[in-house]
Amino acid sequence: MKKVSVYQENFTKGEIDPRLHASPSLSAYREGLEEAVNVWVTATGAVAKRYGIETLHTFPTDSDEWETKLIPFRNASGTDYLCAARAGEFLLFNLKEGASPTAIPCEVLTAQTLPFLNFAAYGDSLIFVENGLPPQQLKWTGGDNFSVETIAFSNIPTFEFSPNNSQPTTTLTPSARAGYVTLTTGTDVFQPTDVGKYVEALPTGRVKIYKYNNARSAAGFVEEEFFDTTAVPAGNWTLERGWEPLWGDGAFPATCAFHEDRLVLANFPRARTTFAYSIAGAPFDFSTGDGSIAFGGARTLSRDQSDAIRHAYSANSLYFFCANAEYVIDQSATLELGLAPIRHDSSRGCLAEIKPLEGEDGGLYFFQPEGRGISEFRYYFDRASYEARNFASHFGHMLNLPRAASLWKGDEHLSINILFYVDCTGDLFAITLKLEEKICACCRLEREHFSFAKVCAAGEKLYVLQRDYGDPLRKIYSIGHFEFERSLSDGEGYTPYESKITLLPVAGETPFLTEGISTTTTIIYCIDAEQLAVNGKTVYAGAAKSGRFIHTFPSGFASGGKVTISDGSQTHDWTICGVGREALVGGPNG
C-alpha cells in the first residue's frame, strides 16, 4: 500500500482556484484546500464549522425584497440598529431589545434607487443619496422612534456645465482689491439670477457673486485679487453665466461621506468626478464664504467624466474610489480641503454597489469592477505613496460580480476579521483576513434551499437577507443572523457533519478508503476534541486535544465506502475529521 503523506498544518489560503492545482510549488497550494464548504478559517489557520442562522424577521409572503439594503446604525446612546431600506420604507431593528421592527414610510425609495443607494452616518442620523433620489435624512428622535425627511440644503455649489460668457460693453469698478466687494457697472448688467455666477477681470481679478443689489450693483467675494480698484474697461472683464447648481431638478449626488465634521457629496449626473464639501459643523450648508478653511467648496478630481466617483471614505485624509482609479485628497501637509493636493497613485477601479470596507491597520478593502479582484488600498510609508494590491488572485474562481459585502470583526468565540460577500448568483462567501500574518482564506457558505441577497455586520452579529426556495411557488424572504449557539442541524436541515473540506491532491498518498484490502489508512484531523471514534472504534479519549490522528482499518474492511465518525456527544467547540483527502467538519456547537 502506498504511504500516506501529509504536509498541511494549516488552511490559511482556504479554497484555491482550480487553475492553480498544477502548481504545487506555490505557498497557496500547500496551505489551501480544493473545496471548503460551510466552514471558515480561524486565526490559528484551522477550519471551524460555520455558525447556524437564526431568523430575525420574515417579510410578507410573495413580496420582492431582493434589492433591500441592510445598513448598520448606532445612535448617540450606543444602541445598535439594523436598518433595512426597502421600496417605500425604512425598517429599523433594535438589536438589543429584539422587538418587532419600526417601519418609517419613505415614498421616494423605489426598487430602482435601492441597488446604488449610498449612505453615511452622522450623529443620530443616516444620510441616504442616489442620483435619482433627493437626499434623505433618517433621524433618531428617542426610544425606537425615527423620522425621515428630504434634506433642505443652503448655498448649493455651482458648476460651469456649459460655458455662457458675455463681455458687457461697460466698465466694472470693484470697491476693494480683496475680500467682500461691491461691483459697480456703468450701465444695466446684473440680473437676480446672477447670484452664484462669476466675474473675471483682466489683468487679474475673479469674484463669485453672492448678492444682487440692482442692475448696476452686485456684491461678491474675491477669489483672485484685483490688480487695483480702478475701473476695468469694457472688453477687459467677463460675466460667466454658465454656472449652475451642482444638484437639483431631479439630478442628485450619488455618493456621500462625513469628513472633518463636514458632509461630502459627490458624483453629480453632469459632473461625475466633482465633489462638494459643506461648512465644518454645518453639514447642510455649502457656502464658500470667504474661502477660508472653515467654509465649504467644490473640487474636481479629473476631467475624464467616465471615471465617476463611486465612493468617498474619511480617514486621516479624504479618499475617493472611482470607476477606473483611486484618489486621495492628501491632508498630511495641510488641513484645508481646498488646498490639499490630489494624489492619484492607483488605477484599479471600484464597484458601485459595494462601499469600501475598513480592514486592519487602516487598510481599505474594495471590489474591482466586473469582479476582477478584491484589493487593499493603503498608504505605504516606506514608499510615501498610496497603493492598491490585489489579494484575491488565488481564489478568482469564487468572484462572480459581487453585489453586497460586509466586514465582520468576529465575536467572543471567533476574534478575527472575516470579509463576507454575496455574488450575483446568490452565493455567500467568507474570507478570513489577517494579511500581515499572511492569512487570506476564502470559503463557500451554503444553506439548503436558500440563496442570499445581502450581508451586513451590525452590533456583534452578522446578518443576511435570504430567500427560501423550499416552495418554488412562493417568494419567502427573511433576515437572519449567524448565531454561535445554533448548529447547522438545528433548523437548517443539515446533518451535524454537513460542512466539508477537501484537501488538495498530493502524489504518493492513498486518496480514498478502499474496501476489501488488507489494511486501509486514513487521517483524522481534530481540533479541541475530547473523544473521537471511527466506525465505533475509539481513536482518542481524554483531555481536549488538537492534532492529527492516523487510523488504520482492519483487514477485510467493508462498509459500502462509508465511515461513521463520532465525537461521543462531548461539548467541545470543533472537530475536524479527515477521511483520505475528504474531510467532514462537525461538533455539537456547529
Q: Is 412 exposed, middle or buried (0-12, 13-18, 19+ CB in 10 A)?
A: exposed
Q: pLDDT higher for 293 or 295?
A: 295
pLDDT at residue 516 in the model: 46
pLDDT at residue 316 is higher than 50: yes
Q: Provide the pLDDT confidence category of residue 361 given band limits of 50, 70 and 90.
A: confident
DSSP string spanning 251-304?
Answer: B--SEEEEETTEEEEEEETTEEEEEEE-BTTBTTB---TTS-TTS-EEEES-S-
pLDDT at residue 300 is higher than 90: yes
| Backbone φ and ψ of 58, nearest 5° | -115, 130
Task: Enumerate the CATH 2.40.10.170 domain ranges in the chain, comma separated.
Answer: 159-245
pLDDT at residue 163 is higher than 90: no
Helix, strand, or coil here: 143?
A: coil
pLDDT at residue 571 in the model: 40
Q: pLDDT higher for 473 or 275?
A: 275
CATH numeric code, 159-245: 2.40.10.170
Among 503, 519, 516, smallest CA distance to 551 is for 519
pLDDT at residue 202 is higher than 70: yes
Structural contact between residues 430 and 439, judged by C-beta atoms closer than 8 angstroms: no
Q: Please name the residue that has the C-alpha cell 479554497.
A: 15
DSSP string spanning 192-227?
Answer: GGGTT-EEEESSS-EEEEEEEEETTEEEEEEEE--S
pLDDT at residue 258 in the model: 96
Q: Rounded to two decimals, what is the model's pTM?
A: 0.84
Q: How far apart are CA 436 and CA 453, in angstroms?
A: 31
Q: Please name the residue that has the C-alpha cell 460542512.
A: 499
Half-sphere exposure of 368 (CA within 13 A, CB side): 21
Exposure letters 259-275 (e unless 16+ CB within 10 A, then b): beebbbbbbbbebbbbb
Residue 14 β-bridge partners = 32, 442
DSSP string spanning 80-122?
Answer: EEEEEEETTEEEEEETTT--PPEEEE-TT--TTTGGG-EEEEE
Q: Please name the residue that has the C-alpha cell 503523506.
A: 5
Structural contact between residues 72 and 126, judged by C-beta atoms closer than 8 angstroms: no
Helix, strand, or coil here: 52?
A: strand
pLDDT at residue 64 is higher than 90: no
Residue 233 β-bridge partners = none
Q: How far apart are CA 509 and CA 522, in angstroms?
A: 10
Structural contact between residues 159 and 275, judged by C-beta atoms closer than 8 angstroms: no
Among 272, 325, 320, 276, smallest CA distance to 298 is for 276
The answer for residues whose C-beta is within 8 angstroms of residue 350's C-beta and 6 or more apart is: 310, 311, 321, 322, 323, 326, 356, 366, 367, 368, 369
The separation between CA 250 and the C-alpha centre of its own chain, rounded to angstroms, equals 27
Q: pLDDT higher for 379 or 216?
A: 216
Cell reading at 497: 457533519
Q: How far apart are CA 45 and CA 37, in angstroms?
A: 16
Lowest mean pLDDT among 113-127, 160-174, 370-384: 370-384
With left for phi above 0 and alpha for psi between -120 and 50, is residue 469 left, alpha or beta? alpha
Q: Provide the pLDDT confidence category of residue 573 given band limits of 50, 70 and 90.
A: very low
Q: Please name the residue that has the C-alpha cell 425604512.
A: 90
Task: Render pLDDT for 85-138 as a digit per residue (tens, 0 to 9).
Answer: 999 999 999 998 777 899 999 999 998 899 999 999 988 999 999 999 999 999
Q: Please name the residue that has the C-alpha cell 447556524.
A: 52
Task: Render pLDDT for 471-504 as a digit per residue (tens, 0 to 9).
Answer: 777 888 999 999 988 877 777 777 666 788 887 7
Q: Are strands 118-122 and 102-105 parallel, antiparallel or unpaired?
A: unpaired
pLDDT at residue 567 in the model: 59
Among 140, 133, 131, smallest CA distance to 83 is for 140
Among 85, 74, 123, 127, smallest CA distance to 107 is for 85
For the chain, what percentages of helix, strand and coil (3-state, to nearest 5) are there?
A: 5, 50, 50
Query: Dihedral of CA 166/167/168/171: which sign?
Result: positive
DSSP string spanning 499-537?
Answer: EEEEEPP-TTS--S--TTSS-EEEEEEEEEEEEEEETTE
pLDDT at residue 586 is higher than 90: no
pLDDT at residue 273 in the model: 96
Maximal C-alpha separation, the chain: 112
pLDDT at residue 511 is higher than 80: no
pLDDT at residue 168 in the model: 94
Among 196, 200, 260, smallest CA distance to 235 is for 200
How many residues belong to the chain? 590
Q: Could you give the angle at the alpha carbon of 90 between the alpha carbons of 88 and 92, nearest 5°? A: 155
| Backbone φ and ψ of 320, nearest 5° | -130, 130
Q: pLDDT higher for 484 or 71?
A: 71
Q: How far apart are CA 414 and CA 40, in angstroms?
A: 10
Q: How far apart are CA 250 and CA 268, in angstroms?
A: 11
pLDDT at residue 522 in the model: 59
Among 98, 146, 57, 55, smallest CA distance to 459 is for 98
